[in-house]
């Protein structure tokens, strides 16, 4: 039997779409019908189920056709500034649903996916199989499932629940599909290729992470995690009983030798790119000199020296290639700044801490530079979402100012203009330039200036100044009307009114004849009187131009078990603490748009409600709301590249070596 090709396997999968879609149609119906608590989902599903199979095949067909051509079917086009959009909480919930489906398929089809991954990796000539090398990976089918279920009339939570209900049916259907494809590979006598020497083995990274979770027994009733301090105490204990140790350990696994062995483990870390490893090797000299005078180095895992190594390693781990321009720029910066540290015969912890601060500042500056092309556009998007709250606040403030203005100073048309039109002009300036921008403050100040221009001049000198100031005031009013595209008829009515009013004032007449004050009639409407009193009270409220109620976002109520052990049992506190700890320049693993990616936090809005992440490719940009981040975090779909991994992995590995030598 001839060996199947990538295109042939994809075509076989495409030929089985009908069976898969019918299987899903029946099993989703069974899944929803068998659970009374999902009857609401069942009603919405039944209204659309007759077209589900057609929609599923229509969504999946172009993806498989792209895969058959050798393209990445889930390739994302670069995001331009014009198309930059925010991923909000509801959109993030879609990613959570897709991730749940993918995980269900991975768990159900682990062996088959491993064999297919090895086959497609061999076709592409890659040393290790990667998920994106598999053109039939679960993400394609999960994305098609999302598109097919989207017409079902449900809110975001309902769509999420429906995707979860469809997860196991899809996993079972793909189990049969993947099994048949693997059978073809075995029939073509490709078993050594699809199994290989790496069949069902853990990666180096997984093995190291398992080593990092080793616990050392420190007594009959307690167990403590492996840390630098526990390693040092273990070595001290061994050193006090040399007869129980092998010669390799007894010869001096303490002090200088312990540091040397620990650093050897650091440099042996397989996750380090060669140039990053070379940089850390150069720093070994300074670390060894520091250990001679600072005994806390071998006890404190939060020592500035180890923090510096972790920060360098974490930043370097974000790059896939050693020749990446961003990595090269970072290495050049480090070469320029470690010279003074290396030249010190006895460096101090303070010098390491200073260098750590300089590294953080450089990484942050690099991140901000990468976000320059879209940060302004994203900030504009954020301000656009705040247009309506700003407008309501400004109208309240303008109304309070107009209530304070005498009736003889304004007219109904002018009041309507300031309340309905000029508040839009102010908000437009705030959206375009920022809430506290000079342009916005200038439009706010113009309200007072316009009202002042309608006061009767006190003397001839003031009348002459008023005449000289009016052209500039009218010009600014014209520009404000242009910013909101005020229709010509409304604009003409306004300026005709202003011309008439200013003409009366310059001739020495009031805008309108003052009306004699009249007290309330004995038989006046009590409700009208109450409204008048309330209006008078509100008109005395202090100015609120700069005081806006900020919506901090709604925290989800789902448990955050991932962080309970660190931050306590309060999931809201865990979410808030994690979000507040986000740092510009840090790298994160996150699941966005149906795939895992590594991205750097490059921009955070002033309200900390909007975040911009930039991928390893500068054109790969992802803008998320705070609610979206909370959804991803609550479901374990975003994590910072752990900066304590490097030293922690080295400590755990060295501890295991000591156990093996004992």
Q: What is the DSSP letter of 542?
A: P
The answer as to whether 555 is a domain residue is no
Q: How many CB atoms are located within 10 Å of the residue 517 CB?
A: 5
Check whether residue 296 and residue 176 sit in a common domain. no
Whole-number pLDDT of residue 23:
92
Check whether residue 31 and residue 117 sit in a common domain. yes
Confidence (pTM): 0.56
- Show which of 145, 174, 201 is a domain's final residue: 201
Q: Is-contact 428 484, C-beta < 8 A?
A: yes
Q: Could you write out the three-class secondary structure of 64-107?
A: HHHHHCCCCCCCCCCCCCCCCCEECHHHHHHHHHHHHHHHHHHH
Q: Checking phi first, is residue 585 left (phi over 0); if not, alpha (psi -120 to 50) or beta? A: left
Q: How many CB atoms are located within 10 Å of the residue 350 CB?
A: 9
Whole-number pLDDT of residue 280:
94
The answer as to whether 369 is a domain residue is no
Identify the domain containing residue 162 by its residue range: 6-201
The answer as to whether 594 is a domain residue is yes
CATH value at residue 607: 2.30.30.140
Check whether residue 36 and residue 182 sit in a common domain. yes
Check whether residue 112 and residue 231 sit in a common domain. no
Check whether residue 576 and residue 657 sit in a common domain. no
Q: CA-CA distance, 651 to 647, in Å (whole number)? A: 6
Whole-number pLDDT of residue 132:
72
The answer as to whether 474 is a domain residue is yes
Whole-number pLDDT of residue 627:
84
Check whether residue 174 and residue 245 sit in a common domain. no
Check whether residue 172 and residue 53 sit in a common domain. yes
The answer as to whether 629 is a domain residue is yes
Whole-number pLDDT of residue 218:
36
The answer as to whether 584 is a domain residue is yes
Whole-number pLDDT of residue 290:
92
Who contacts 510 (Cβ-Cβ below 8 Å, separation ≥6)? Answer: 408, 456, 504
Check whether residue 171 and residue 52 sit in a common domain. yes
Check whether residue 626 and residue 589 sit in a common domain. yes
Number of domains forming the structure of the chain: 4
- Show which of 510, 535, 552 is a domain's final residue: 510
Whole-number pLDDT of residue 20:
92
Whole-number pLDDT of residue 79:
47
Check whether residue 570 and residue 456 sit in a common domain. no
The answer as to whether 359 is a domain residue is no
The answer as to whether 407 is a domain residue is yes
The interaxial angle of helices 645-661 and 228-240, nearest 10 deg, is 20
Check whether residue 57 and residue 188 sit in a common domain. yes
Low-confidence ranges of the chain (pLDDT < 70): 1-3, 36-38, 75-86, 124-131, 189-225, 237-256, 370-379, 381-382, 407-408, 511-570, 594, 618-619, 642-644, 661-662
Structural element, H or E, at residue 640: strand 638-640
Check whether residue 110 and residue 26 sit in a common domain. yes
- Show which of 201, 230, 263 is a domain's final residue: 201
Task: Compute CA distances 391 → 416, 482, 546, 568, 656, whole Å.
Answer: 15, 18, 13, 40, 64
């Amino acid at each position: 039997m001839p060996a199947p090709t990538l295109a042939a396997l994809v075509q076989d999968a495409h030929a089985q779409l009908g069976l898969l879609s019918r299987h899903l149609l029946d099993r989703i119906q069974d899944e929803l019908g068998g659970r009374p608590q999902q009857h609401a989902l069942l009603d919405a599903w039944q209204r659309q189920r007759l077209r589900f199979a057609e929609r599923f095949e229509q969504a999946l067909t172009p993806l498989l056709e792209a895969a058959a051509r050798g393209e990445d079917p889930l390739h994302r086009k670069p995001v331009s500034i014009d198309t930059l959009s925010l991923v909000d909480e509801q959109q993030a919930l879609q990613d959570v649903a897709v991730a749940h489906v993918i995980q269900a398929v991975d768990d159900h089809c682990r062996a088959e996916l491993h064999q297919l991954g090895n086959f497609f990796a061999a076709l592409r000539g890659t040393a290790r199989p990667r998920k994106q090398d598999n053109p039939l990976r679960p993400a394609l089918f999960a994305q098609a499932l999302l598109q097919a279920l989207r017409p079902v009339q449900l809110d975001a939570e309902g769509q999420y629940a429906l995707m979860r209900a469809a997860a196991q049916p899809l996993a079972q259907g793909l189990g049969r599909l993947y099994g048949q494809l693997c059978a073809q590979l075995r029939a073509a006598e490709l078993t050594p290729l699809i199994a290989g020497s790496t069949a069902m083995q853990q990666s180096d990274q997984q093995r190291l992470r398992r080593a990092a979770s080793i616990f050392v027994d420190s007594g009959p009733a307690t167990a403590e995690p492996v840390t630098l301090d526990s390693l040092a105490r273990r070595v001290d204990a061994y050193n006090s009983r040399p007869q129980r140790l092998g010669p390799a350990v007894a010869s001096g696994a303490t002090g200088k030798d312990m540091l040397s062995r620990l650093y050897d483990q650091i440099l042996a870390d397989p996750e380090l790119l060669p140039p990053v490893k070379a940089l850390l090797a150069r720093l070994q000299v300074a670390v060894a000199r520091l250990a001679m005078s600072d005994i806390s180095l071998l006890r404190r895992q939060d020592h500035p020296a180890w923090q510096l190594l972790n920060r360098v390693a974490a930043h370097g781990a974000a790059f896939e290639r050693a020749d990446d321009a961003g990595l090269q720029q970072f290495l050049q910066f480090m070469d320029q700044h470690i010279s003074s540290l290396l030249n010190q015969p006895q460096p101090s912890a303070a010098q390491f801490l200073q260098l750590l601060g300089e590294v953080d500042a450089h990484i942050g500056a690099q991140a901000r530079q990468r976000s320059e092309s879209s940060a302004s556009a994203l900030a504009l998007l954020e301000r656009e979402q705040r247009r309506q709250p700003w407008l309501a606040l400004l109208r309240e403030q303008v109304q309070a100012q107009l209530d304070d203005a005498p009736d003889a100073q304004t007219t109904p048309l002018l009041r309507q203009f300031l309340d309905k039109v000029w508040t839009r002009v102010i908000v437009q300036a705030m959206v375009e330039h920022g809430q506290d921008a000079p342009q916005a403050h200038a439009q706010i100040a113009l309200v007072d200036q316009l009202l002042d221009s309608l006061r009767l001049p006190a003397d001839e000198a003031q009348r002459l100044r008023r005449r000289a100031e009016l052209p500039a005031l009218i010009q600014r009013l014209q520009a404000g009307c242009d910013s909101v595209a005020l229709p010509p008829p409304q604009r003409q009515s306004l300026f005709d009114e202003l011309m008439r009013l200013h003409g009366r004032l310059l001739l020495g007449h009031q805008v309108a004849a003052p009306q004699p004050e009249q007290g309330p009639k004995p038989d006046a409407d009590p409700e009208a009187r109450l409204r008048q009193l309330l209006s008078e009270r509100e008109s005395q409220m202090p100015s609120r131009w700069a005081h806006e109620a900020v919506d901090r976002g709604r925290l989800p109520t789902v448990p955050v078990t991932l962080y309970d052990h660190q931050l306590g049992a309060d999931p809201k506190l865990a979410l808030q603490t994690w979000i507040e700890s986000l740092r510009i320049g840090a790298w994160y693993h996150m699941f966005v748009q149906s795939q895992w990616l590594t991205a750097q936090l490059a921009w955070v809005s002033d309200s900390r409600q909007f975040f911009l992440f930039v991928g390893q490719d500068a054109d790969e940009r992802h803008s998320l709301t705070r609610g979206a981040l909370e959804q991803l975090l609550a479901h374990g779909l975003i994590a910072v590249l752990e900066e304590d991994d490097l030293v922690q992995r080295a400590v755990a590995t060295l501890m295991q070596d000591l156990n093996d030598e004992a």
